[in-house]
Structure 1
Amino acid sequence: MEFQYENSFDIEEKMKTTKIAILPVGAVEAHGPHLPLGTDNLLAERVAKRLAERIDCFVLPTLPYGQVWSLRNFPGSINVSNESLISMIVDIGESLYRQGFKTFAMVNGHLGNQPALKDAARVLFTTCPEMKVFYFFYPGMNKAAKEVRETESTHATYFHACEIETSYMLYLAPEYVVMSKALNDVPVIPSDADVTPTPWENFTTSAVLGDATLATEDKGKYIIDLAIDNMLTMLKASEN
């Protein structure tokens, strides 16, 4: 059920059938020439909707802005602070708690949001003690990606507009992918990028971290379906 399309007369009764609310969280940022600025929003939304096809829940309107400090100087990128993101998530979570929700699951499409979502979940752990809070980011994807990718990852953590993320889009939102513009652009990321602030323009001009030309729908399906299965297992356990 999509929360925003319900009305206040009917919603009270419908909330008796499920106590799970899912919030897609994305970002607006550069994703090379072949993917749109709203890639992370599209991925978060479509994963959330696929979850809703398999478990009774409400899908909340997407939170469309994220912490994109690393890419904030690229054309089209819109950055919000961790503090702003934490505050918004906590306010949403506490509102859901007052409405009687018992499970609040954030489905995140942007890695840079994870620190803020984790901190927000910790606040809600205290302020909403009877509500289970998840901050999902493709759980299980690392192992699955290693099984299907044809190139080595350019970084132990980062993946962006590359073979993997482009495959996600080919599976979940293919109408927004222009594969004729996909790049093979493998940057050299300095070792100190993990331990000191490093804007991405220091090592890439495209915002593509790998060979996007190798992306396929099948690769995306394999990883995304596994991640959704993992999320479902945890969501169903939270109902017990």
Structure 2
Amino acid sequence: MQFQYENSFDIKKKIDNSKIAILPVGAVEAHGPHLPLGTDNLLAERLAEKLAKRVNGLVLPTLPYGQVWSLRNFPGSINITNDSIISFLVDIGESLYHQGFTTFAMVNGHLGNGTALKEAARVLYETCPDMRVFYFFYPGMNKAASEVRETKTAHNTYFHACEIETSYMLYLVPEYTDMEKAITDIPDIPAHADVTPTSWEEFTDSAVLGDAKLATEEKGKYIVDIALDNMVKLINDSLGRV
């Protein structure tokens, strides 16, 4: 159920019947020639919708900007700070708490947001003690991706506009995925990128970290469905549901 399309007269009953708020969190940044700037928003939205159906949740309007420092100089990228994201999420979470929600699930579509989401959840842990806060980023995806990946990953943490993320798009948002423009770009990412601030233009001109040509809807479905099952289980377990 989409929260923003409800009206103020009816929403209280629907909150009471659900008590689960789901917030898609994304970003606007370069994703190569074959994926849109809003890829992370689109993925977070579609995944949030699937999650809401499974747990009887209310999907909030997307938080559409993220911390994209590493890609901030690529055409189209819009960067905001972790502090800005944390402030937004804490304010949203506290509003939800006062509205009667007892579960706040942030469905993140952008790896760079991870630190901010975790910090916001920690603040909300103190200020909203009766509300369970989750920060989800495709839980369980690493093992699932390793089972279907045809090429070696460019990095042990990053995946971007590559075989994996493009597969997510083919499954969840095929209408904005242009496989005719998909490329192969497997950069040599320097070791110092893990221990000191490093802009991605140092090692890639495309923002693609892999072989997007190998992406398939089937791969995306396999990984995303596992992540979705894990999110559903984590929420249901917290609520004592069988």
**TM tier relative to shorter chain:** over 0.9
CA distance in structure 1 between the aligned counterparts of 2:30 and 2:75, rounded to whole angstroms: 7
Residue 87 of structure 2 contacts residue 120 of structure 2 at CA under 8 Å; is this kept in 1?
A: yes
Counterpart of 2:149 in structure 1 is 149
Counterpart of 2:133 in structure 1 is 133
CA distance in structure 2 between the aligned counterparts of 1:56 and 1:178, rounded to whole angstroms: 33
CA distance in structure 2 between the aligned counterparts of 1:78 and 1:163, rounded to whole angstroms: 24
Counterpart of 2:104 in structure 1 is 104
* 1:90-101 alignment runs, 5 A limit: 90-101=90-101
* 1:229-240 alignment runs, 5 A limit: 229-240=229-240
CA distance in structure 2 between the aligned counterparts of 1:23 and 1:212, rounded to whole angstroms: 28
* 1:221-232 alignment runs, 5 A limit: 221-232=221-232
CA distance in structure 1 between the aligned counterparts of 2:42 and 2:219, rounded to whole angstroms: 18
SS at match of 2:54: coil
Identical aligned pairs, as a percentage?
75
Count of residues in correspondence between the two structures: 240
**Partner amino acid for 2:4?**
Q
CA deviation after TM superposition for structure 1 residue 16, in Å: 1.5
Q: How big is each residue's C-alpha offset from its partner over 1:108-135, in whole Å with a ceiling of 9 and x where there is no partner?
A: 0000000000000000000001100000
SS at match of 2:118: helix
RMSD: 0.5
**Could you list the runs of 5+ residues in structure 1 that have no partner in the other structure?**
none
**Could you list the runs of 5+ residues in structure 2 that have no partner in the other structure?**
none
Q: Report whether the alignment pairs 1:34 with 2:46.
A: no
Counterpart of 1:212 in structure 2 is 212
Counterpart of 2:159 in structure 1 is 159
CA distance in structure 1 between the aligned counterparts of 2:220 and 2:2, rounded to whole angstroms: 25
SS at match of 2:17: coil
Residue 43 of structure 1 contacts residue 172 of structure 1 at CA under 8 Å; is this kept in 2?
A: yes
SS at match of 2:18: coil
TM-score, normalised to structure 2's length? 0.98
* 1:37-186 alignment runs, 5 A limit: 37-186=37-186
TM-score, normalised to structure 1's length? 0.99
**Partner amino acid for 1:190?**
P
Residue 189 of structure 1 contacts residue 203 of structure 1 at CA under 8 Å; is this kept in 2?
A: yes
